[in-house]
Amino acid sequence: MMLVKIAFRNILRNGRRSLMTACAIAVGAIAMILFGEYVAFIMLGLESGAIRSNGHMTVYHKGYFDFGSGNPSAYSIDDYESVMRLIRNDPVLKPMVNVVTPTVSLFGIAGNFSIDTSKTFLGVGFVPSDRWKMIHWDEYGILDVYHRLTGYRLQTLGVSDGDENHGIVGIGLARVLGLCGPLKIPNCPSPPKAKAEVIAGAPPAPSGVAELAAGDLGPRAAPKDDGPPRIDLLGATAEGAPNVVTFYVNKAFNQGYKELDDAYVGMNIKLAQQLLYGRGKPKAIGIQVQLHRTEDLAKAQARLNVLFARHGLPLEIHDFKELTPQYVQIVGFMGAIFTFISVIIGVIVLFTVINTMSMSVMERTNEIGTARAMGVRRSGIRRQFLVEGWMLGAIGATAGLILAWFIATWFNSLGITYTPPGQANPVPLVVLTEGVGKLLAGVWLGLLFMATIAALVPANRAAKMPVVDALRHV
């Protein structure tokens, strides 16, 4: 205790220099904490978005993850309803599971033949009520933060369980198919009218998809002025036969990525099964499993593997990190930036404390000689300066933690928004102030360690001073 009192008095002997050193450490702590809290919020937001879209994990037929995108019908789950019951009724999984729902992915051609235009599409079939429940998952309170700061609310899904031939499309696909006007999409131009090139003597070009649609669906009823616009979706069944279904577009939503926005079609799973499997038995491409808590992911995945092996089911499980590789990439990128900033701040703190403690050693050379002449060992001198460096680090880091909290609270109250990658709508720019105890402890201990290590260099120099030279120092 006496050593601490002496160190504190020595710090106050040159208060201005000690204050500037503590301020440098505090500023470093503030920068690291604010950026770390921002990175933490980004990571939780990315994780929440991935889990709301795809669940914590998805069950596929073995081989689908590697080869199924080229032939989804060949890697379908036949009796998917029994698999879902197996998951829902398992006593180990039941308390963990929030949603278990089937999905169907397919591709084909979407056509609006009232204006003679078509476009390839990527379709996703889902159970609307299950999807609505999934997108309300909010373990980390991200949606609550959005609503509290900006009044943000989730958009309606645009399709219900009873709408078997209704659904949604990306704004890009709606623009290509000339649906901007019927859907009343702002800032969405209509496609220009293309001039047909006439070649003398050439036979009339077949209408292709239009003919298939007309033959398969029969006479087209005149669309109602107040009803949703109608398009036709052409796909291929599991046997390879062309199949066409009628699709009414309720709404168009921006999907965040242009490639996806120009091709996305979201529909009721029954319509997707009708398009992909025709009159055959309905199947599912995948079964999405969303848990109440992310920390149960490893346990739930292990339990599913045991169940599938016990029942001889040729199924495999992939979690949300495998299904959304950009999540892992962004997390790694943000982590690298945080590490880089931390190293720079650590170096600044290191040299600042070294400079301060070196000046202190030079000013107290006579005192060091006197203390050594009175019998104080070299270890005692070294310990004295180490405690002073440790104390400067503790004062600066503690002040930084307190100021960072006030700055973060003030910043969050501003309601600043931005549009992150992969998002279609602006979201609040927030630094996380709750659940970041490990970050705060790490920054505080890290700066404390750097300040103490920095004091070691001048402390060693002070301890090794010859007593005679120190006493006659002027």
DSSP state for residue 207 in the 8-state scheme: -
Average of per-residue pLDDT values in the chain: 83
Of 219-223, 228-232, 453-457, least confident by mean pLDDT is 219-223
**pLDDT tens per residue across span 117-141:** 888 999 899 999 999 999 889 888 8
pLDDT band at 101 (very low <50, low <70, confident <90, very high): very high
- Contacts (Cβ under 8 Å, ≥6 apart) of 80: 102, 283, 284, 287
- Per DSSP, the residues of 15-41 read HHHHHHHHHHHHHHHHHHHHHHHHHHH
pTM for the structure as a whole: 0.79
Q: Which two tokens stand for residue 281?
A: 């038995």
* Torsion angle (degrees, nearest 10) of CA 405, 406, 407, 409: 80
Question: In a 3-state reduction of DSSP, which class is residue 417?
Answer: strand
pLDDT mean over 250-256: 85
- Contacts (Cβ under 8 Å, ≥6 apart) of 312: none
Tokens 């995108």 belong to residue: 69
Higher pLDDT among residues 274 and 202, named by residue? 274
pLDDT for res 71 = 73
Distance between alpha carbon 440 and the CA centroid of its chain, in Å?
Answer: 22
List C-alpha distances in Å: 121 to 111, 232, 240, 319: 10, 11, 18, 25
Question: In a 3-state reduction of DSSP, which class is residue 223?
Answer: coil
Phi and psi at residue 380, to the nearest 5°:
-70, -40
Helices (H), 55-169: 80-89, 128-134, 142-150
Q: Please, which residues bridge with residue 243 across strands?
A: 235
pLDDT mean over 355-366: 80
Of 59-63, 417-421, 457-461, least confident by mean pLDDT is 417-421
**pLDDT tens per residue across span 170-217:** 888 889 888 888 888 887 777 676 554 555 555 554 444 555 555 555
Give the C-alpha separation, 188 to 401, whole Å.
48
pLDDT for res 205 = 45
**pLDDT tens per residue across span 383-403:** 888 888 888 889 999 999 999
Tokens 């300040």 belong to residue: 451
List C-alpha distances in Å: 213 to 182, 241, 331: 21, 13, 46
3-state secondary structure 267-298: EEHHHHHHHHHCCCCCCECEEEEEECCHHHHH
Of 216-220, 229-233, 398-402, least confident by mean pLDDT is 216-220
User: 218: phi > 0 → left, psi -120 to 50 → alpha, else beta; which?
Assistant: left
Is the pLDDT confidence value at 72 over 80?
no
Is the pLDDT confidence value at 150 over 80?
no
pLDDT mean over 159-167: 86
